[in-house]
Structure 1
Amino acid sequence: MMFLLAVLCVLYVWSPATLIGGQGSSTNIIPRKTVPINSSGGHYFHEEGVWNYTTMLLREDLNMLILGAREAIFALDLNNITVRKAMVNWKVKSQQQKECSLKGKDATNDCKNYIRILHKRDDNRMYVCGTNAFNPTCDYMSYANGELKLEEKQEDGKGKCPYDPFQRYASEMVDGELYSATSLNFLGSDPVMMRSTGEIIRTDYWFNEPNFVRMAYIPEGKSSPEGDDDKIYLFFSESAVEYDSYTKVDVSRVARVCKGDLGGLRTLQKKWTSFLKARLDCSFPNIKLPLLVQDVFQLCQDDSTTCIFYAVFTLQLDSSEYSAVCAYKIEDIKTVFSKSKFKTPVTVETSFVKWVMYSGELPDPRPGACIDNHAREKNINKSLDLPDKTLQFIKDKPLMDQAVKAIGQRPLLVKTGIAFTRIVVATATALNGNSHQVMFIGTKNGSVLKSVNYEGEMVIMEEIQLFEPSEPIKILRLSNTKKQLYVGSEVGVLQLSISECGRYHTCPDCVLGRDPYCGWDLNAGRCSTINSTHRTSTMIQSLSDGDTSRCPPIDGSKPVSTWFIHGNSVKLWCQPYSNLAQVHWKLNGQPIRLSDTIQILSDGLMILNASAEASGYYTCSSVEQKYEAQHVAYDLQMWSGFGTAALLHDVKEKENTLVAMVVILSLILATLVIWNLYKGHLLLPCCHSRVKDMPNRNIDERFSASQAQQYKVASPTVNLNSNNNYANDQRYSISREMDRLSTTVGSSGQISLRYMDDESEI
């Protein structure tokens, strides 16, 4: 009974309802602008029959984007990815596909060659690896004379490239050596981090069901006064060993190894002697379970000491979309690995292993440390010289006790209702010369968020919908030289400008956008990209508070004359420029009072069952950060019955005149035909005896029809409920059921009269 109560308590504490507190909802920032799909202004690439565009290599030296997909590699123009420069196919052989299928994998999806590794080598060639039907294989590739070419020097890709095309992995090429983190076997049960070029070095059994995310190279040794070594950092999540719980709990981690590590002489032979890992903390109030890292971007401004890692996190419960962005200083990560205490496993009650802080004496040199000046003073010049006591300690206890805290010990951005997938960060120089980090965040629903942090205030400038909601963003790459963003998914690739200032239409809209790339050019009268030639006297930009006081005044919009029919519904359109603006409607200068017949919608004002009281002067304005702008004005009047009847009668007379002319021309034509028959110019077989009788009869019949038609069209009565439907000239007929006529006024100010067959169309 006590065990059952404990389980229920754990489930209650970890329930999704208790994961998100009030503070989380207060930081759920709304994007200022929403850019719909196909309105991003970017370039789109997709090759028929090819899928999974999830591996990219920027070759700015060749002005190309090398794109890896399923069984194909493309070389695309970096300025315009719709220009395909070259392509090479790398398909699975039929025998390999058959063997993959016999092992229980799906022949259609799993048993293909998914390109997963693309790295540039020092000799200007590229190293490429693919899953190859659960048989990872690598090769060398070159670009010459306008062609991509695989050199057919295939190598075993085990430990370099994943077996499973849908399993997360990480890799980095450093000085011609490949570092990778993936599974070493078919079942995915042997995860490793290894250096596979030259002397192979790998991890011991230090991972627990990991999900690898990103690998980063930091050249710390180049400017280290301690003679330290360069580092390779690995970001991942795994099942935690340090938590006491009845269910499995995953945590985010960061690990590191030293570039010059050669393994141990006796202990940890061909294994990392410098592998350490620590928990990566991205905590938020009222969140009980740790958030899981999904992607990491490395941004270094000057040297390795200024590097910052930006990471996106999501909840580990699939049913709850809750995401955050946290940032970490490289110095804070180094401090945890060099000064924090270790955790050690302790056996409890002969069976249960619990990890607690190690408080004993540490061997010298410090376990996990790179070879530095302190080690060299002890005549330890490489890892092969490390004492067994140090190596045995790190073999048993690679986990640090202290977690790496985020900058400010809280997320930069928190968002509910959406799952973050990828992130890149660009540096923008504002008009005043200050630098700002602009984050581009990919989401599970196929959009990219463009956001920036202003002294603790996070602003989401845009949410750009790039793919259908069912297509998550799988990869983001940023070209700082081209100022372009490359976005990959399962179905295609999009290229976007990171400074699309043309989406801001007016000076207040441009300034309120608080986009560090954009400012209002007073000389040109448009929102332009900031560059070094712009001066504050001719450009307006206000990033701190969106101050629009310097903007030139905008003339009020001219009222649109609008009419409606009594008893019908009227919609007055008004679409504000911003999702953050509050819309204010006024009638004859007074705020509109909502009622059963007047409703304010997100894109306009709806008046139901309109009567004479609805007539008047309507204005729609938006207020954003104390700035108020009028968008549109309407002069709404009810259409009088007398004017309608007169208009209809005038149109009716024109219709009747046209019909009469058609009848007269028809009679003339018929008379000519009959005259020719009578004179014998036209003969009908077997009917010679009846020719003379036909003219009189035809003339009588035509004359009777003409009289009837003339009587009909000469009728002066105008019936508003009649439906005059002349097939020859329907565009002149507006005599519809006027009591069912709906008036709709568009944003262009034109009036559209539309016949409605059903009240449900209102």
Structure 2
Amino acid sequence: MALILYEAVILFLGMATAFGPVPRITWEPREVHLVHFQEPEVFNYSTLLLNEDKDVLYVGAREVIFALNSLDISEKKHEVFWKVTEQQKTRCAEKGKSKQTECLNYVRVLQQQNDSLLYVCGTNAFQPVCDHLKVTSFELTGRNEDGKGRCPFDPAQSYTSVMVDGDLYSGTSYNFLGSEPIISRNSPQNPLRTEYAIPWLNEPHFVFSDVVRADPDNANEDDDKVYFFFTEVSVEYEFLSKLMIPRIARVCKGDQGGHRTLQKKWTSYLKARLLCSIPDKNLFFNIVNDIFILKTPDSKDSVIYGIFTPQLNNVGLSAVCAYNISTVEDVFAKGKYMQSTTVEQSHTKWLRYNGEIPRPRPGACINKEARAENFKTTLNLPDKTLQFAKDHPLMDDSVTPIGDRPRLIKRDVKYTQIVVDQVRALNGTLYDVMFISTDRGAVHKAISYKNGMHIIEETQLFPNFDPIQTLLLSSKKGQQYLYAGSNVGVVQSPVAFCDKHRTCVDCVLARDPYCAWNPHLSLCVDIFKESETQQDWIQNIGGNASSCTDDVRERSLQHTFKHGSTAELKCSQKSNLAQVVWKFKDDVLKVESPKYRLLEKALLIFNLSDGDSGVYQCLSEEKVKNQKFSQVLIKHVLELKKVHPHTPSPAQPTTRTEGNGEELKASVVTTQGSAVYTSTTPVVTIATSRIVTNPIFPNIMSTVAGIERSELVPEVPEKTLFLKSNDNSLLMSLFLFFFVLFLCLVAYNCYKGYLPDQCLKFRSAMSLGKKKPKADFSDCEQSVKETLVEPGSLMTQSGEHPKPAHDTGYETEADYGNGHVQHDEEHSQSYKEVKDKPFDVKCELKFADSDAEGD
């Protein structure tokens, strides 16, 4: 409960934070060139492996592995099916799993072991198995190695793996129930794993793993390091419910385990908290969803990018935090350790350890300093150091992000995967471009610079909004693609859509380091696809488009309308950060006026008159760093047809004329792109005295095709036209409906006796047709109840007093005290009389105040 209140408070405070930057442009799948791959009856394309030397993309799906052309993934090169037997499915179903979905083989590990073999593992109906796949023949070798500790049992369980020099490093669960998490190295020579202890791993959810190589030119470097990223239940913070903490763990590639202590276990295993929060808002992001390590030639300059969400994410917040790898190493090499202490008998509490630290430092790789002390391998480490490492795997210090805050915070979106590319712009500056996928099948392309974060574009990769499960980025400049895998297929997308920017201002305002404006070709080009670049190409990541010239080829459309109609002038712009401004005769239109209405992609002008003729310009105004940049998107030339006076001759038939006796020549203008097509109809005259236009249907106003008629219409008086134009049938129908409804209500209330006097007479007449009704039925009914006694029942055989009959006005069976019907002839005759005449009793019913007779 305390955790829930805590999370509610921090999320409430987080509501004050900004929604985050808005993607400047949103691309739909039909607007850009995307390549799709999907096979019938195949699902879960969640494992991707790219071999750029051979231009092959390997895809691991459910019960099948594909080899695709990485330059065009629609071209399938090879495939191999890897299915489970019916016997295995049956045994899996007996354990309570779904035979149709869970008890199949989901490919979860797909790693390049060498040039000729791929190492693959699958869930195999909850009996994980691993094998080798021959690259040339694309066949499985059939080794069927035990996959426990390398691949998850359950396809829904979290896992991660990375191949380092032929050895598979993995983080997954070691048993069927998923209750034994493990980080292991599967090596024939020296396999290692973590301890089965809560301080080492406490219900982790693995998301990523990768290796960071040591710099061979740096004499102080110690060893290659493999990093694991996961979210686990906290042991150091006390709450009534589980508090999740994002972690980074590290092991050394040269670790060989201990000699006596930690045999076949990691001696270099350490973990620390990844801190991603907004300090001034007290908002913490506790769940890590994905990690990407942007590696550089100097390993200390590598940057870790992570996607985080709050634990109770009911407001849809996502954050991207970046960490220097040097900061991580400082925490492991110089930070304080935490230790567990027992308080109140069974309660365990974790506190900072301030005692003496053994030498060599526990959890450290074998470095230059350790070798100087004659510790050549971890097998030579003293037991004191190994025991300390076993009892103190958790660091007290947290890994803080660059700038002590997230680089990007976005609301109403859940980020799932991230990859990062480092791009050198035309000015020589390096920019980190992030590609972040969402659970709605889209990818956000964002760039970080000194003044903040900018989302260049949003691309919808999957039209059905399927969540993206895997994201992969190629590194070949000029042939660089983004690959996304989901449950339904794989999509290949270019990293930039430079050719979609039509103008120089639009190209520069995109702030895309891949794109630049080529003034010689008047095109926005991908600088990495060009053989050479020139100095006069225009690119500005800050968004300053003042270098662009005004030689823009503006589209101009011509329209012809008639007086009193409504004009619809269309204008659409892609930038979500721009504002549309309309100008008429070089003056800004005030769309607040009742004459104009600004829609999302159009301008409506009502009741056109001579003063509305002219040139209308649609401009896009975008503000960047207090600078406003405008560009004309389209021009509309509006013209009204002139009307000429016309007097009909006696010899001519009567024609339709305008109210002022003027004829109208109709012109229809249709546009497609920048072309204008005009067709002129014969001159006709219009009989109506006024033209009634409907602004709800502006497309009708743009043409007068309805006026084109071959026959002449006789003149009709204005009053008749007015009556015809006002159809009263609807009003008459409504009147009749409510009148009939009123009569039904009156009849119903009258029949129920809710209405007095005359209504009662009407009811009696309808029921009997003979008796005269009384004025007040309720009083009569009471009198009958008190005095009316059934004939022949003044005294029953048992001597009981008779009960008054209850006449409700309906034909009912006789009411007897004992609940049984008598059968003697005398009573039968009297009952027949009563039944035939239900109101003909000894008391004569008169009016409301009369009494019953004869008692």
Q: Is the shorter-chain TM-score for this pair beyond 0.5, marking a shared fold?
A: yes
Secondary structure in 2 aligned to 1:220?
coil
Which residue in the other structure is 1:701 paired with?
none
* Conserved 8 A contact 1:743-1:751: no
Which residue in the other structure is 1:573 paired with?
570
Alignment deviations for residues 609-648 of structure 1 (CA, whole Å, 9 cap, x no partner):
76777666432211113111122233445667889x99xx
Q: Which whole-Å CA distance do the structure 1 matches of 2:383 and 2:704 have between them? A: 90
Alignment deviations for residues 469-528 of structure 1 (CA, whole Å, 9 cap, x no partner):
641111111111231111111111111111321111111111111111111111112111
**1:60, distance to aligned residue in structure 2 (A):** 1.9
Secondary structure in 2 aligned to 1:539?
coil
Which residue in the other structure is 1:691 paired with?
none
Q: What does residue range 338-737 of structure 1 map to in structure 2 within 5 Å?
A: 338-468=333-463, 470-481=465-476, 482-531=479-528, 533-558=531-556, 560-563=558-561, 566=564, 570-588=567-585, 589-595=587-593, 598-607=596-605, 617-625=615-623, 626-636=628-638
Which residue in the other structure is 2:140 paired with?
150
Q: What does residue range 114-513 of structure 1 map to in structure 2 within 5 Å?
A: 114-144=106-136, 147-198=137-188, 199-204=190-195, 205=197, 206-220=200-214, 222-226=216-220, 228-284=222-278, 285-468=280-463, 470-481=465-476, 482-513=479-510
Which residue in the other structure is 1:87 paired with?
79
Number of residue pairs the alignment of both structures matches: 667
* Conserved 8 A contact 1:742-1:753: no
Alignment deviations for residues 146-190 of structure 1 (CA, whole Å, 9 cap, x no partner):
x42111111111110111112221101111111000000111111
**1:741, distance to aligned residue in structure 2 (A):** 6.9
**1:736, distance to aligned residue in structure 2 (A):** 14
* Conserved 8 A contact 2:26-2:458: yes
Which residue in the other structure is 1:13 paired with?
9
* Conserved 8 A contact 2:126-2:153: yes
Structure 2 stretches lacking a partner, 5+ long: 659-680, 707-855
Alignment deviations for residues 232-256 of structure 1 (CA, whole Å, 9 cap, x no partner):
1101111111112222211111000
Secondary structure in 1 aligned to 2:603?
strand
Give, as a single letter, the amino acid of the residue that structure 2 aligns with 1:582.
Q
Q: Which whole-Å CA distance do the structure 1 matches of 2:135 and 2:657 have between them? A: 78
* Conserved 8 A contact 1:743-1:752: no
**1:7, distance to aligned residue in structure 2 (A):** 7.4
So what's the TM-score if we normalise by structure 2?
Answer: 0.73
Q: Which whole-Å CA distance do the structure 1 matches of 2:243 and 2:610 have between them? A: 66
* Conserved 8 A contact 2:316-2:411: yes
Secondary structure in 2 aligned to 1:401?
strand
Secondary structure in 2 aligned to 1:375?
helix
Q: Which whole-Å CA distance do the structure 2 matches of 1:448 and 1:9 have between them? A: 33
Give, as a single letter, the amino acid of the residue that structure 1 aligns with 2:127.
N
* Conserved 8 A contact 1:563-1:638: yes
So what's the TM-score if we normalise by structure 1?
Answer: 0.81
**1:228, distance to aligned residue in structure 2 (A):** 1.3
Q: Which whole-Å CA distance do the structure 2 matches of 1:614 and 1:29 have between them? A: 39
Q: Which whole-Å CA distance do the structure 2 matches of 1:537 and 1:19 have between them? A: 46
Secondary structure in 1 aligned to 2:547?
coil
* Conserved 8 A contact 2:214-2:221: no
Q: Which whole-Å CA distance do the structure 1 matches of 2:687 and 2:535 have between them? A: 60
**1:563, distance to aligned residue in structure 2 (A):** 1.9
Secondary structure in 2 aligned to 1:510?
helix
Q: 1:640 to 1:336 in 2, by over 3 A?
A: same
Which residue in the other structure is 1:78 paired with?
70
* Conserved 8 A contact 1:565-1:741: no
Q: Which whole-Å CA distance do the structure 2 matches of 1:642 and 1:111 have between them? A: 83
Alignment deviations for residues 24-50 of structure 1 (CA, whole Å, 9 cap, x no partner):
34xx11111110123231211111111
Q: Which whole-Å CA distance do the structure 1 matches of 2:215 and 2:298 have between them? A: 11
**1:11, distance to aligned residue in structure 2 (A):** 5.7
Structure 1 stretches lacking a partner, 5+ long: 650-713, 721-731, 756-762
Give, as a single letter, the amino acid of the residue that structure 2 aligns with 1:180.
S
Q: Which whole-Å CA distance do the structure 2 matches of 1:736 and 1:488 have between them? A: 65
Q: Which whole-Å CA distance do the structure 1 matches of 2:373 and 2:348 have between them? A: 36
State the structure with more CA Rg.
Answer: 2
Give, as a single letter, the amino acid of the residue that structure 2 aligns with 1:327.
A
Give, as a single letter, the amino acid of the residue that structure 1 aligns with 2:542.
S
Matched, 1:44 2:41: no
Q: Which whole-Å CA distance do the structure 1 matches of 2:598 and 2:560 have between them? A: 18
* Conserved 8 A contact 1:338-1:369: yes
Q: Which whole-Å CA distance do the structure 1 matches of 2:687 and 2:365 have between them? A: 88
* Conserved 8 A contact 2:555-2:634: yes
Alignment deviations for residues 368-426 of structure 1 (CA, whole Å, 9 cap, x no partner):
01122332333322222222221221212111011111111122211111111111111
Q: Which whole-Å CA distance do the structure 2 matches of 1:736 and 1:554 have between them? A: 47
Secondary structure in 2 aligned to 1:453?
strand
Point out the more displaced range, 168-177 or 116-125.
116-125
Secondary structure in 1 aligned to 2:91?
helix
Q: 1:633 to 1:61 in 2, by over 3 A?
A: closer
Q: Which whole-Å CA distance do the structure 2 matches of 1:565 and 1:490 have between them? A: 57
Q: Which whole-Å CA distance do the structure 1 matches of 2:487 and 2:275 have between them? A: 31
